[in-house]
């Protein structure tokens, strides 16, 4: 089976069907089955994928022929890891929500968002890419607005305005590129072969960079993120941090740098500095957080800052590090948010000053949490290690000082992540938590799968690196600053 369109069609049809389901028990099982079928549909693509630099499983459908718009999708070694990440995490996110009484509309939004994410990661036409970009925004807005925290209205309005404004700048850039394109189409191959002046590349760089930097987010475009993650429901935070922010990093690799290499040459050093400053800034702020969910939000800014820095280093090592670390970060951050959600559901709080000693009552949870923490720190034999190693090595090839400052994330990360574990799991147990019970059933299953992925990728990272190696190498060779 090599019909890539089915990966976009199935979650869309499932979302439509689930939107009519009013029974929460039925909805959650249908949502899980749909997400698992989607994962099963992904397996043939992984098995038949040839790890070279070519785009595979291409499909082109005429869409708006008068404007040269086609529905053009395909996968290469840069797309496939993110498609795989999306379709692996969605079933875990659905399963993690089994403790909530969500009706079919909730799971319909999750699956509809999955469609948008997959379209972003497979689109080879700029118009299709933009449509996927916007499709992914709508369901996550409603997920956070309907099931979020008490301040969700204000926070989600800010989130929507930020990301929508960034999208407008990107749309202006896409339209301009279309006007300069003698082929009068939106094809990725046409855009990367355009001959643009230096001044054109400079402003187009910022048009695309703003959209991607807001989504990632990169300092100083990050201010929407901590509030949004904190007020989002657990599933919403997992979708945002685990998958959605990867859209921005993917956009840098697939669209920004290949289309305007001179613009990146002119301003890439500024972007790199912003990424590195963001690592240090977010880490320092993370130290001071008393809300566990907010701490993870700031830690995410620091980690994706390192990933983005590896992209702007623009060498094969840094780019390979970015590719595998996008997958690793998605797995780890979903695990972290889920653990905090479990702790909050059992204790009624996620404030670090009110917690402690939970390991006495929740030994299984403590073990899973510790392994996920170790992966977040980048301990060898966990998935976080190889990604951070490659990213720092890629930065070292560009600038030693950049690597040294970015490397502070290893130290800072160890401090605030171990503090998170200590404040929640260690120390004396408050008597009011004496009746807290350990995790079981689907909770063990979700965290168990996450831990297995952490260890498997940590022990054998080449399985992922091999998928993207050829595509990354060709891209770096083709785009020289």
Q: Which pLDDT score, from 0 to 100, does residue 190 have?
A: 93
pLDDT higher than threshold 70 for residue 1: no
Q: Is-contact 465 392, C-beta < 8 A?
A: no
- Backbone Cα Rg of the chain: 21
**How far apart are alpha carbons 45 and 19 in whole angstroms?**
28
The secondary structure of residue 97, as a DSSP letter, is G
DSSP 107-136: HHHHHHHHHHHHHHHHB-BHHHHHHHHHHH
**How far apart are alpha carbons 147 and 125 in whole angstroms?**
34
Q: Which residues contact 236 (CB under 8 A, 6 or more apart)?
A: 140, 143, 144, 147, 148
User: How far, rounded to the nearest angstrom, does the alpha carbon of residue 320 sit from its chain's CA centroid?
Assistant: 16
**How far apart are alpha carbons 328 and 210 in whole angstroms?**
25
Q: Which pLDDT score, from 0 to 100, does residue 478 have?
A: 86
More confident residue, 156 or 263: 263
* 6 burial level (CB within 10 Å; 0-12, 13-18, 19+): middle
What is the phi/psi pair of residue 3, to 5°? -85, 95
pLDDT digits (tens, 9 = 90+) for 371-420: 999 999 999 999 999 999 999 999 999 989 999 999 888 899 999 999 99
Q: Which pLDDT score, from 0 to 100, does residue 157 have?
A: 86
pLDDT digits (tens, 9 = 90+) for 146-169: 898 888 888 888 888 888 899 999
What torsion do the CA atoms of 119, 120, 121, 125 make, to the nearest 10 degrees? 80
**How far apart are alpha carbons 161 and 174 in whole angstroms?**
20
Q: Which stretch of 119-128, 199-208, 402-411 has the lowest confidence by average pLDDT?
A: 402-411
Q: Which pLDDT score, from 0 to 100, does residue 460 have?
A: 94
User: What is the residue-averaged pLDDT of the chain?
Assistant: 93
Q: Which residues contact 185 (CB under 8 A, 6 or more apart)?
A: 68, 69, 70, 125, 178
Q: Is-contact 218 305, C-beta < 8 A?
A: yes
Count other Cβ atoms within 10 Å, centred on residue 431.
7
Q: Which of 11, 31, 33 lies closest to 23 in space, CA to CA?
A: 31
**How far apart are alpha carbons 307 and 387 in whole angstroms?**
9
Q: Hey, where are the domains in the chain? A: 5-475
Q: pTM above the 0.75 mark?
A: yes
Q: Which pLDDT score, from 0 to 100, does residue 352 have?
A: 92
Mean pLDDT in residue range 283-287: 91
Q: Which pLDDT score, from 0 to 100, does residue 71 have?
A: 93
- Enter the tokens of residue 254: 């697939």
Q: Is-contact 247 208, C-beta < 8 A?
A: no
**How far apart are alpha carbons 7 and 228 in whole angstroms?**
29
**How far apart are alpha carbons 217 and 6 in whole angstroms?**
31
pLDDT higher than threshold 80 for residue 481: no
Q: Is-contact 94 107, C-beta < 8 A?
A: yes
pLDDT digits (tens, 9 = 90+) for 293-340: 999 999 999 999 999 999 999 999 999 999 999 999 999 999 999 999
The angle subtended at Cα 256 by Cα 478 and Cα 267, nearest 5°, is 95
Q: What is the 3-state secondary structure (H, E, C) of 414-474?
A: HHHHHHHHHHHHCCCCCHHHCCCCCCCCHHHHHHHHHHHHHHHHHHCCHHHHHHHHHHHHH
Mean pLDDT in residue range 51-55: 89
Q: Is-contact 10 41, C-beta < 8 A?
A: yes
User: How far, rounded to the nearest angstrom, does the alpha carbon of residue 254 sit from its chain's CA centroid?
Assistant: 15
What is the phi/psi pair of residue 76, to 5°? -130, -165
Locus of tokens 């945002």: 240
The secondary structure of residue 254, as a DSSP letter, is I
DSSP 355-382: ---GGGT-HHHHHHHHHHHHHHHT-TTS
**Phi-psi category of residue 378: left, alpha or beta, with phi > 0 → left and psi -120 to 50 → alpha:** left
Would you call the peptide bond into 67 cis, given omega within 30 degrees of 0 as the criterion?
no
**How far apart are alpha carbons 244 and 408 in whole angstroms?**
26
Q: Which pLDDT score, from 0 to 100, does residue 2 have?
A: 67
| pLDDT interval class at 68 (50, 70, 90) | confident
pLDDT above 90: percentage of residues in the chain: 81
Residues in the chain: 481
- Enter the tokens of residue 336: 């972290």
pLDDT digits (tens, 9 = 90+) for 32-46: 999 999 999 999 999
Q: Which pLDDT score, from 0 to 100, does residue 149 have?
A: 81
- Residue 391's alpha-carbon distances to 204, 258, 384, 397, 461, in angstroms, are 27, 20, 11, 10, 14
Q: Which pLDDT score, from 0 to 100, does residue 20 have?
A: 93
């Amino acid at each position: 089976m090599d019909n890539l369109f089915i990966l976009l069609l199935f979650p869309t049809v499932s979302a439509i069907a689930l939107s009519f389901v009013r029974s929460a028990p039925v909805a959650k099982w249908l949502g899980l089955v749909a997400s698992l079928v989607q994962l099963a549909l992904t397996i043939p693509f992984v098995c038949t994928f040839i790890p070279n630099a070519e785009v595979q499983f291409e499909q082109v459908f005429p869409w708006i022929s008068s404007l040269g718009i086609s529905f053009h999708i395909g996968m290469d070694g840069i797309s496939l890891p993110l498609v795989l990440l999306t379709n692996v995490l969605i079933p875990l996110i659905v399963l993690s929500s089994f403790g909530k009484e969500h009706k079919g509309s909730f799971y319909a939004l999750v699956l509809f968002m999955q469609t948008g994410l997959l379209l972003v990661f497979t689109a080879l036409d700029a118009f299709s890419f933009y449509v996927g970009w916007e499709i992914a925004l709508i369901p996550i807005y409603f997920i956070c607005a309907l099931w979020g925290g008490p301040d969700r209205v204000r926070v989600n309005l800010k989130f929507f305005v930020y990301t929508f404004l960034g999208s407008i700048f990107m749309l202006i850039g896409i339209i301009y590129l279309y006007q300069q394109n003698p082929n009068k189409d939106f094809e990725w191959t046409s855009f990367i072969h355009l001959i643009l002046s230096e001044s054109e590349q400079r402003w187009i760089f910022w048009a695309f960079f703003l959209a991607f930097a807001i989504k990632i987010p990169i300092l100083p475009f990050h201010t929407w993120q901590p509030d949004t993650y904190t007020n989002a429901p657990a599933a919403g935070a997992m979708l945002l941090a685990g998958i959605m922010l990867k859209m921005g990093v993917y956009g840098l690799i697939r669209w920004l740098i290949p289309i305007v290499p001179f613009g990146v040459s002119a301003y890439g050093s500024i972007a790199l500095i912003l990424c590195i400053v963001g690592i240090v800034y977010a880490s320092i702020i993370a130290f001071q957080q008393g809300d566990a969910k907010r701490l993870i939000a700031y830690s995410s800014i620091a980690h994706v800052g390192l990933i983005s820095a590896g992209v702007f280093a623009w060498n094969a090592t840094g780019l390979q590090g970015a590719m595998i670390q996008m997958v690793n970060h998605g797995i780890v951050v979903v695990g972290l948010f889920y653990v905090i959600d479990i702790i909050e559901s059992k204790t009624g709080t996620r404030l670090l000053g009110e917690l402690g000693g939970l390991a006495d009552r929740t030994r299984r949870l403590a073990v899973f949490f510790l392994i996920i923490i170790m992966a977040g720190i980048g301990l060898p034999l966990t998935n976080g290690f190889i990604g951070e190693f490659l990213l720092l090595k890629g930065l070292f090839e560009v600038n030693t000082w950049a690597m040294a400052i970015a490397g502070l994330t290893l130290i800072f990360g160890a401090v605030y992540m171990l503090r998170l574990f200590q404040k929640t799991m260690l120390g004396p147990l408050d008597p009011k938590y004496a009746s807290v019970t350990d995790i079981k059933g689907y909770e063990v299953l979700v965290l168990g799968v996450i831990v297995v992925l952490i260890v498997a990728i940590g022990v054998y990272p080449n399985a992922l690196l091999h998928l993207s190696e050829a595509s990354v190498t060709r891209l770096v060779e083709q785009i020289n600053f």
